[in-house]
Structure 1
Amino acid sequence: MTFFSALDEQPPVSVRYNPAKMTPGSNHPWEAAWEGSVPWSEKACYLNHRPAFTFDPCLHAGCYYVQEASSMFVEQALKQALRGLTPSADPYLMLDLCAAPGGKSTLALSLLPENSLLVANEVVGSRARILQENLTKWGSPNVMITRNEAVDVGRLGPVFDVMLVDAPCSGEGLFRKDESAVGEWSPEAVRQCALRQASILEDSLPALKPGGYLIYSTCTYNTEEDEAIVKRLVDVEGLEPVPLTVDEAWKVTGSLLMGADQLPVYRFLPHKTKGEGFFCCLLRKPLTEGENNQSPMGVQRETGKNTRQSKRSRQTVKSPFVITKAIKERLMQPEAYHWSVTEQGLIRAVPVNLLSVVTYLEASLNVLQVGITVGEIKGDQALPHPVLALSTGLNRAAFPVCELSLKQAVDFLRREALVLPEDCPRGWVLLTYQDQTLGWAKNLGSRANNGWPVEWRIRSANPFA
């Protein structure tokens, strides 16, 4: 098969499961379509057709993520970076700078050590909301979702152990998947993308620690946005390229440049590898004389205090509302979290070991969500929050549980009216499908109020109507 004939083929379908919520062999609908593992991603597989993912409640429960296979190669770069980091008692801090819709962020959350924090950032508002939805469904409490420009991140100083910049690009690798990418392409678009990529990297790189790692990736083929950007990172920014171990059977292509300009970079071409077009490389920020990899958070990490003042109001406020023992018992190991109330009247739980890091970052970044949103204060009540239902920290024993059929679960996800079984207790009920938690309903007896967020509802025609 040639490169151009491959562009006329249907793109392969691949999924990656969430190890915190499911394991292979869990009888999910797509497993019948299994067509082999994705060799460079430990928890991913190809499917022989594209199921109706929209109507699988397990997708909405965060049990798996539908992700293009080539882009999962970031797993190899991140594993190499984690092996190369200096061991530390402090939490590892990773940034996904251009994170929406969230595939690489969910991948990172499955690979990072348990005491780490991922900052998933997206500057475009509509895309940030999609990112927030997808990361909420993945369920990890160790993530902060932000909406900031690259220059805002750079002003933090060297705080991140790993940075992932999956840069906005001309999208040549998506031509067979997205016809609009073909119409938007032009040589000028390529030039403008390369300038934007260089600017994003220049603005954000001050936030990478000496000794830290940068993963740079695009979904395009041309060397102007790929090798030329990497060469600039090496020649101008002083980063060191890091080779990755790649199995020849994967048929990954190296640099398209020759001679002295050849660098250890990795390109996926659709006529050679089973996936879309993708480019990736790993670079290290060297330690220079007189430098160390100490974060500017310094004392804040030890004391949990931060004297820096935010341009915005602090996320948390003093509140007369008492967070009772019963509320805290909505989480497993409630003592492992710092509890607070936000300006918006949300009860928030942040892992104690991450509190000082979170405090430092909140002083400078526009934070959309961090930790677990346990409840929303309404009068003297703390209504259970959708984030809680999907969190891996949820204590299911704190609520009555009602298992739904497939039809009932899809009705719930469409925010349609629900009638729960007669033996279901009144009040707030945790709804599950195949034992996976989905969300909340307030059972009133004759009917139940649907607690699935309006903005997440399935809008497609109901196949069970």
Structure 2
Amino acid sequence: MNLSPEFIERTRNLLGEKEMDAFLKALDTDSPVSIRMNRTKCAEVPEQSKRVPWSGSGYYLESRPTFTFDPLFHAGCYYVQEASSMIIEQAIRQYVKEPAVMLDLCAAPGGKSTLARSVLHEDSILIANEVMKNRSQVLAENLIKWGDPNVIVTNNDPSDFSSLGNVFDVILTDVPCSGEGMFRKDPVAVEEWSLENVDLCWQRQRRIIRDIWPCLKPGGLLVYSTCTYNREENEDNVAWIAKELGAEILPIEVDSGWNITGNLTGTDFPVYRFLPHHTIGEGLFMAVLRKSGEMDDEEVVERKLKKEKKGKNNKSAAPVATCPKEAKSWVQSPELYSWCLENNEVVAFPLAYQSLYEKAKQSLRILHAGITVAELKGRDFVPNHSLAMTVAKNKEAFEQAELTYEQAIAYLRKEAVVLDSTVSKGYVMLTYKQVPLGFVKNIGNRANNLYPQEWRIRSGYLPDRLIFPLG
């Protein structure tokens, strides 16, 4: 690895001579492969794996599977996520006990968003945002596949959220950084590193935090993270947030056996560093901060009322006439959602957060929200792929057809699929190993493939050896 002399000198000053030797040696080893299971879809444990100790559902794999050709990967049964970044789970579990409104500000490709949605209280709502348009599409795809309906995906600049006011209980800022922690995985990060870029990054990070800070409620939680090593983007920025914005830096409980490194700048506030010669994972930095002030009594009462309303009908929902009754039957507990027809799509959104959704639609570019249940094509309402992926679907609403591996790959390539003659005509939910993959419209001699064109497997070949984490 051809590291910049400036990077080596600066990192040696940070770590010390002895630590630096071990650090450089670790950078020359292979990068570990890890995944995190989606327990709402799959209870299996990956074969030949070891637990990521700070994650309830993360696993190290012995080798890199052929993810692209695994139907269960496309079905959202697991997410390929770097192990170090799973530490975000500990911050959420230890400090967020009640239903919360959370923003993942720099969310693409979706690892931390899917993790957050898995560990937040089930009645929480998550807004996952990405400012880059092409990356925001990937974010939407991954969250749709994860299948939780309490999600909004947006494509906005941090400053765009100011119109919402201080609505967030938790804001995760995995800010764009110089990427030093990704040197083992990304040769481009090594080539593009420069001191000038580090300076640009820490200044940009402060602008991002300053822009989003007013959107955090008094008493709310800010989780700050980077995938870099230098102090300017890490401890120095955390100290700046505490001093300039009046935040309290919070500790989290970590096991000493995890070998997480603390503050390297001689200051005494708690931060959490992942260094490759100490922990099995890539470089990561995290700090947890609380905004000064407390949630007011009126807000506490409002949350209590929302919780009491859960499961009851609400007359503020969209008029029944805008959505077909049949489509409502495709979702479990349809009374828990507001229903509307937007841009020829039937959208079901969690009723408890309808006011936030309406406010967000006025100022944010929303790519996905709740469950896109169906699309109006001519006079027909066609079930949407989002419905197949959501864990809130009514599985009894459609006939199901189990596919072989070869059929599943053909379907994911958006090729024609021929079903058994015993399968009824009409819309059919296809499954692989009993996990939903998507819909087809069965017309008898063939089935029209409804898998999203932009998500299809583009490779026309299969590797000689297929390795899957779940066998």
> Please, what TM-score do these two structures have when normalized by structure 1?
0.89
Matched residue SS, 1:234: helix
Matched residue SS, 1:21: coil
Cα 1:222/1:348, change in 2 over 3 Å: same
Alpha-carbon offset, residue 293 of structure 1? 7.6
Note if 1:8 corresponds to 2:12.
no
Choose from 240, 251, 275 the match for 1:243. Answer: 251
Note if 1:292 corresponds to 2:296.
yes
Deviation per residue, 1:398-447 (Å, 9 max, x gap): 11111001111111111112111111111211000001001011112222
The question of whether the paired residues in 1 share the 8 Å contact of 2:106 and 2:130 is answered with yes
The question of whether the paired residues in 1 share the 8 Å contact of 2:318 and 2:339 is answered with no
What is the one-letter code of the residue matched to 2:31?
Answer: P
Counterpart-to-counterpart distance in 2, 1:103 and 1:270: 20
The question of whether the paired residues in 2 share the 8 Å contact of 1:209 and 1:293 is answered with no
Structure 1: 5+ residue runs without aligned partners? 26-30, 303-316
Aligned to 1:280: 286
What is the one-letter code of the residue matched to 1:447?
Answer: R
Written as runs of structure 1 = structure 2, the 5 A alignment for 1:19-418 is: 19-25=39-45, 31-34=46-49, 36-83=50-97, 91-258=99-266, 261-287=267-293, 292=296, 322-342=322-342, 344-418=343-417
Counterpart-to-counterpart distance in 2, 1:367 and 1:295: 26
Counterpart-to-counterpart distance in 2, 1:295 and 1:319: 28
Alpha-carbon offset, residue 320 of structure 1? 10
Deviation per residue, 1:275-304 (Å, 9 max, x gap): 00000010000117xx838669x89x98xx
Alpha-carbon offset, residue 369 of structure 1? 1.1
Counterpart-to-counterpart distance in 2, 1:47 and 1:192: 36
Counterpart-to-counterpart distance in 2, 1:189 and 1:80: 34
The question of whether the paired residues in 2 share the 8 Å contact of 1:81 and 1:162 is answered with no
Counterpart-to-counterpart distance in 2, 1:215 and 1:328: 37
Counterpart-to-counterpart distance in 2, 1:362 and 1:293: 28
Matched residue SS, 1:155: helix
Counterpart-to-counterpart distance in 1, 2:247 and 2:354: 31
What is the one-letter code of the residue matched to 1:328?
Answer: K
Alpha-carbon offset, residue 221 of structure 1? 0.3
Q: Which is worse superposed, 13-22 or 440-449? A: 440-449
Alpha-carbon offset, residue 268 of structure 1? 0.2
The question of whether the paired residues in 2 share the 8 Å contact of 1:321 and 1:380 is answered with no
The question of whether the paired residues in 1 share the 8 Å contact of 2:318 and 2:338 is answered with no
Alpha-carbon offset, residue 24 of structure 1? 2.6
Alpha-carbon offset, residue 351 of structure 1? 1.5
Matched residue SS, 2:458: coil
The question of whether the paired residues in 1 share the 8 Å contact of 2:338 and 2:348 is answered with yes
Counterpart-to-counterpart distance in 2, 1:320 and 1:40: 46
Counterpart-to-counterpart distance in 2, 1:388 and 1:223: 45
What is the one-letter code of the residue matched to 2:284?
Answer: F
Deviation per residue, 1:236-259 (Å, 9 max, x gap): 11100001111110110001101x
What is the one-letter code of the residue matched to 1:463?
Answer: L
Counterpart-to-counterpart distance in 2, 1:345 and 1:400: 25
The question of whether the paired residues in 2 share the 8 Å contact of 1:163 and 1:214 is answered with yes
What is the one-letter code of the residue matched to 2:214?
Answer: P
Cα 1:448/1:32, change in 2 over 3 Å: same
Cα 1:197/1:464, change in 2 over 3 Å: closer
Cα 1:450/1:414, change in 2 over 3 Å: same
Counterpart-to-counterpart distance in 2, 1:391 and 1:193: 37
Matched residue SS, 2:142: helix
Matched residue SS, 1:236: helix
> Please, what TM-score do these two structures have when normalized by structure 2?
0.88
Alpha-carbon offset, residue 321 of structure 1? 6.5
Q: Which is worse superposed, 440-449 or 229-238? A: 440-449
Deviation per residue, 1:147-195 (Å, 9 max, x gap): 1111111332211000000000000000011111111110001000111
Counterpart-to-counterpart distance in 1, 2:323 and 2:245: 48
Counterpart-to-counterpart distance in 2, 1:168 and 1:429: 42
The question of whether the paired residues in 2 share the 8 Å contact of 1:155 and 1:206 is answered with no
Alpha-carbon offset, residue 378 of structure 1? 1.3
Q: Which is worse superposed, 198-207 or 410-419? A: 410-419
Q: Once superposed, what is the RMSD of the aligned Cα atoms?
A: 2.2
Matched residue SS, 2:54: coil
The question of whether the paired residues in 2 share the 8 Å contact of 1:102 and 1:134 is answered with yes
Alpha-carbon offset, residue 318 of structure 1? 8.6
Counterpart-to-counterpart distance in 1, 2:127 and 2:165: 15
Counterpart-to-counterpart distance in 1, 2:165 and 2:350: 23
Counterpart-to-counterpart distance in 2, 1:96 and 1:320: 33
Deviation per residue, 1:106-149 (Å, 9 max, x gap): 00111111111000001110000000000000000000001111
Matched residue SS, 2:368: strand
Aligned to 1:453: 452
Alpha-carbon offset, residue 363 of structure 1? 2.3
Q: Percent identity?
A: 48
Counterpart-to-counterpart distance in 2, 1:32 and 1:80: 30
What is the one-letter code of the residue matched to 2:378?
Answer: G
Counterpart-to-counterpart distance in 2, 1:156 and 1:355: 14
What is the one-letter code of the residue matched to 1:98?
Answer: C
Alpha-carbon offset, residue 58 of structure 1? 0.6
Alpha-carbon offset, residue 2 of structure 1? 1.1
